[in-house]
Each structure stands twice: as C-alpha cells, then as structure tokens.
Amino acid sequence: MNRNPGTTIATLCLFFSGQFKKGKPYPDPDAKIGYCAAKKLAFVGYRVTIINAGENMPILDYYVTPANQHDTGAFVPLLLSMEEHGILPRIGDFYGDNAYFTMKNRRWLDFFEKCCKIHSKEETGKNPKNRRSAKKKSRVRSKVESTFGILQKNHDFGQVLVRGANNVKIDTCLKVTSWNHFYLISYVINRFEDRISLRRLFYEN
C-alpha cells in the first residue's frame, strides 16, 4: 500500500505521544498559579527573589522560580550562587521577612558563618515580642520594598512579555543587570544622587 509517510508519522504521534496535545492556545507552559500575600492576590507567573545590598540598594543576586513555589525555596540556591561568585564572604548580616525564617535556612547561614537577622515569627505582627529589635530589623528590611517599587516604575518589573521559564529568566536577568548598570553609570557621570531615579538621570540636566 502506498502510504504517505508524513501522515503515518503524524497519526502515530497523535496517538502515542503527549507532545501533539495542542488544544487551545497555551500561553506560558512554565507559569504557575501563585499567591501574593502582601497584595492578597492570586496570579499566574513567576516569583523573583532578589538580594539587595542594604545601604545603596544595588542588586547582588537574583533567583527566578515558578509562582507556586514558596519564597523560602529560593534562599539556599541564592546562598550557593553567592558563594560560587565570591560575594558571600564579602557581605554582612542577612535581613528578610519571616518567610525565610526556617530552620534549614538558619543552618545554612550558620554554615557560612553569617549573622541571621531575618524576622522571626514572634517579631512579626501588630504586637511583636521584641518590639525594639523587630523595629530595628524592619527599618533595614523595608529598603528592599522600595527597590521593588522603583524596579516596577523604572524597569517594568512585575510583568514579562516573553514566554517560557528560560526566556523569563533572561528577561529578569536583563532587568536586574539594567538596574546595576544605570546605578554604575550614575556614578560614572557624577550624578550618584540620581542613581535611583532613572527619570531624573535620563531627562533632567
């Protein structure tokens, strides 16, 4: 029987593989459903964890996970990445919210001989146990929130126009690189006071 080999292969594939499952348009196969507790909003996408140097707000490292993974999962990979790139020995204490306050994370910080100043569960909420230390930690920690806010305003952080985990990672990497690049440029052109505001850097003399 003369059979078109293309048809045979296509038919076989249709039956025996899941790859031909085309169906309705599938936007981003790697994006997952997550929940943003701060915004009280569920979303489909990814979660980007960054490590910010406290004083001047440059980004030291970043990690992208699907949105359905908990924040704490990014902590150890970030520590290992910083160790690999030689940043870890040069940094001081670790601050973060209570999502990162797990036994595993604290053990890793102990292993790398880093001081853990992550908010404990007792230090969170309206009536924290150690009010003074909680306030002190909050004051340092809150800087990272402004980094995200400025990233959103100046670098369109918070949404991506590409699909697939790999492309999103590249896009996020470019965003944080862009943040550090213009931070450095502001120093080079003697306008370090405008390091955070791209608008002033770009449009004001």
Partner 1 sequence: MIYQEYLPYDSLLQKMEENEIKLPFPLEYTIENIEKIKKKIPKSYDNIARILALSRPLVELVLFMMDYHEPERPPNSRGRPGIPTITLLLIHLLSQTMISDSYRQTERILNAHPNWLKALNLKKAPNHTTMSKFRKRMGIEFFDAYFHQLTELLYGFGLIKEGDDVIIDSAPVEASQNFARSNSGMKIEEERLKEFFDTVDFTPAVELITPPSNRGRKRMYSNELILKFIAFEKLCGFLSRSQAINHLKKHPVVATIVGFSGGVIPSSSTVHNYLKRMPPIPWVMRVMVDPITEFFESQPWYDDSDPLSFFFRSI
Question: Least distance from C-beta 120 to partner 1, angstroms?
Answer: 15
Does 134 help bind partner 1 (rule: CB under 8 A)? Answer: no
Binding partner 1 (rule: CB under 8 A), the pick from 101, 123, 157, 196 is 157
Question: For 119, which DSSP code?
Answer: P
Q: How many residues lie near partner 1 (CB under 8 A)? A: 111
Question: Is 94 in contact with 86 (CB distance < 8 Å)?
Answer: no
Does 47 help bind partner 1 (rule: CB under 8 A)? Answer: yes
Does 101 help bind partner 1 (rule: CB under 8 A)? Answer: no
The CB density around residue 118, as the number of other CB atoms within 10 Å, is 22
Does 201 help bind partner 1 (rule: CB under 8 A)? Answer: yes
Does 203 help bind partner 1 (rule: CB under 8 A)? Answer: yes
Does 104 help bind partner 1 (rule: CB under 8 A)? Answer: no
Binding partner 1 (rule: CB under 8 A), the pick from 68, 107, 153, 193 is 153
Does 125 help bind partner 1 (rule: CB under 8 A)? Answer: no
Comparing CA positions, the residue from 17, 46, 41, 16 lying closest to residue 29 is: 46
Q: How far apart (Å, rounded) are the C-alpha atoms in residues 190 and 16?
A: 63
Does 22 help bind partner 1 (rule: CB under 8 A)? Answer: yes
User: Please, which residue, 7 or 127, has the CB nearer to partner 1?
Assistant: 7
Does 40 help bind partner 1 (rule: CB under 8 A)? Answer: no
β partners of residue 32 = 45
Q: How far apart (Å, rounded) are the C-alpha atoms in residues 43 and 34?
A: 5
Binding partner 1 (rule: CB under 8 A), the pick from 110, 122, 145, 193 is 145
Question: Is 91 in contact with 60 (CB distance < 8 Å)?
Answer: yes
User: Please, which residue, 127 or 138, has the CB nearer to partner 1?
Assistant: 138
Binding partner 1 (rule: CB under 8 A), the pick from 125, 181, 193, 196 is 181
User: Please, which residue, 1 or 127, has the CB nearer to partner 1?
Assistant: 1
CA atoms within 13 A on the CB side of 24: 0
Question: Least distance from C-beta 127 to partner 1, angstroms?
Answer: 23
Question: Least distance from C-beta 3 to partner 1, angstroms?
Answer: 6
The CB density around residue 14, as the number of other CB atoms within 10 Å, is 12
C-alpha dist (Å) from residue 201 to 156, 157, 174, 177, 196: 17, 19, 19, 17, 9
